[in-house]
Amino acid sequence: MDNILTIRDLKVAFQVRGRDAYALDGINIDIPKGKIVGIVGESGCGKSMTAMSIMGLIKSPGRIVGGSIDFCGNELTKMGIREYANIRGKDISMIFQEPMTSLNPVVKVGKQVMEAIILHEHISKAEAKQRVIEIFNEVGIPEAEKRFNSYPHELSGGLRQRVMIGMAMICKPKLLIADEPTTALDVTIEAQILRLMKRLCEESGTSIMMITHNMGVVAEICDYVYVMYAGRVVESAPTKILFNETAHPYTSGLLKSIPTIGKKQKRLYTIKGNVPNILNLPKGCRFADRCDLTQNICLSDRPKDDYITDSHMVSCFLHKRIEDERSCIKIKKYS
């Protein structure tokens, strides 16, 4: 398969009180060309940190201490600032949760998008403006020419996010990183934006890395999902498989703890306890103290990334692939 981005054993550490705290501890992620890959997890699990590593935006006291990020044959972790600047915004672009904070409030939105294109392509202003209006039409901004001269505060949240998407897509990037792009939006607007992203992905062949905490969003548009917990990828699989054959207790816990419409529940399932502090991680499996199925080995050893099928990775002692029998045995003690 054609992977546009390959992350191998990436480690990001923060120096806190003289010790290294690993915000990312050996994660592997593949993003195939033209697909939408979801990264799900709770706050502090390292999903935004992953995005920042790819963008080369990890700031001190954090730093990449190991592993590789391969983007179309370029090793990003060893890239200089200048080379990075050529890639950022052109081949990889990013959109954020709150479009208001990532747009300059005193510059017209059209101009801001124009700047993005002029920076990377040597074209005239008139051409650039034409391109901006085209992209505004493409991302569904009504009256694009009028909107070109609007200031960010004159637009609604949904329109601002469309502007951001337009700005990110204008150089036809190979990879679009979307960090919680719909979290600040209302559901009806969220649905519009998700549909737009899916369409853009299909039409332009851009891969999208979708960072979200919302399993519904993942189910809606993602092709593959990586579930992260405390700086590790605990499970990854194609979306359908992840939801239908959930293997990791954390994933299934998350899925069960979401209230579902159309189902009368007396109580919700809860994952006990809190997300562990990355300064104070358990010795064995990081989920061990919150897991319902903890065994002795979970407390003492770190589980390895096991592929229980070719596309389904789980990092848990409950699952093992036995190669001899050419089949996988999944221990399912829970449902």
Instruction: Determine, following the binding rule CB under 8 A, whether residue 295 of this chain makes contact with other proteins.
Output: no
Tokens 């089949």 belong to residue = 327
Q: Which amino acid is at 143?
A: E
Instruction: Determine, following the binding rule CB under 8 A, whether residue 114 of this chain makes contact with other proteins.
Output: no
Instruction: Determine, following the binding rule CB under 8 A, whether residue 19 of this chain makes contact with other proteins.
Output: no
Instruction: Determine, following the binding rule CB under 8 A, whether residue 157 of this chain makes contact with other proteins.
Output: yes
Q: Which of 267, 320, 315, 271 is nearest to 291 (CA)?
A: 271
Helix, strand or coil for residue 202?
helix
Instruction: Determine, following the binding rule CB under 8 A, whether residue 14 of this chain makes contact with other proteins.
Output: yes
Among 75, 146, 245, 258, binds other proteins (CB under 8 A): 258
How many amino acids of this chain bind other proteins (CB under 8 A)?
60
What distance in Å separates the CA atoms of residue 242 and residue 258, rounded to the nearest whole number?
Answer: 16
Q: What angle do CA 92, 192, 30 make, to 5 degrees?
A: 35
DSSP string of 225-242, one letter each residue: EEEEETTEEEEEEEHHHH
Question: At its nearest, how many Å lie between other proteins and the CB of residue 97?
Answer: 7
Number of neighbours of residue 206 by Cβ within 10 angstroms: 22
What distance in Å separates the CA atoms of residue 64 and residue 48, rounded to the nearest whole number?
Answer: 14
Among 30, 66, 238, 269, binds other proteins (CB under 8 A): 269
Question: At its nearest, how many Å lie between other proteins and the CB of residue 174?
Answer: 22
Instruction: Determine, following the binding rule CB under 8 A, whether residue 89 of this chain makes contact with other proteins.
Output: no
Task: Name which of residues 30 to 59 contact other proteins (CB under 8 A).
Answer: 42-44, 48-49, 52, 57-59
Instruction: Determine, following the binding rule CB under 8 A, whether residue 254 of this chain makes contact with other proteins.
Output: yes
Q: Quick one: tokens of 279?
A: 């300064």
Sketch the per residue contact string, 173 through 202, with other proteins: x for CB under 8 A, - otherwise: ------x------xxxxxxx-xx-------
Question: At its nearest, how many Å lie between other proteins and the CB of residue 134?
Answer: 21
The set of residues, in sequence order, having a beta carbon less than 8 Å from that of 302 and lying 6+ positions away, is: 284, 285
Sketch the per residue contact string, 302 through 331, with other proteins: x for CB under 8 A, - otherwise: ------------------------------
- Distances, alpha carbon 118 to alpha carbons 102, 109, 167, in Å: 18, 14, 12
Q: What is the 3-state secondary structure (H, E, C) of 68-135?
A: EEEECCEEHHHCCHHHHHHHECCCEEEECCCHHHHCCCCCCHHHHHHHHHHHHCCCCHHHHHHHHHHH
Instruction: Determine, following the binding rule CB under 8 A, whether residue 239 of this chain makes contact with other proteins.
Output: yes
Instruction: Determine, following the binding rule CB under 8 A, whether residue 86 of this chain makes contact with other proteins.
Output: no
Q: What angle do CA 204, 9, 222 make, to 5 degrees?
A: 35
Among 84, 151, 243, 307, binds other proteins (CB under 8 A): 243
Among 7, 37, 76, 220, binds other proteins (CB under 8 A): 220
What distance in Å separates the CA atoms of residue 146 and residue 143, rounded to the nearest whole number?
Answer: 5
Nearer to other proteins, 74 or 270 (CB): 270
Nearer to other proteins, 23 or 128 (CB): 23
In the complex, which residues of this chain contact other proteins (CB under 8 A)? 14, 16, 21, 23, 42-44, 48-49, 52, 57-59, 62, 97, 156-159, 179, 186-192, 194-195, 213-217, 219-220, 239, 243, 253-255, 257-262, 264-265, 267-271, 274-275, 277-280
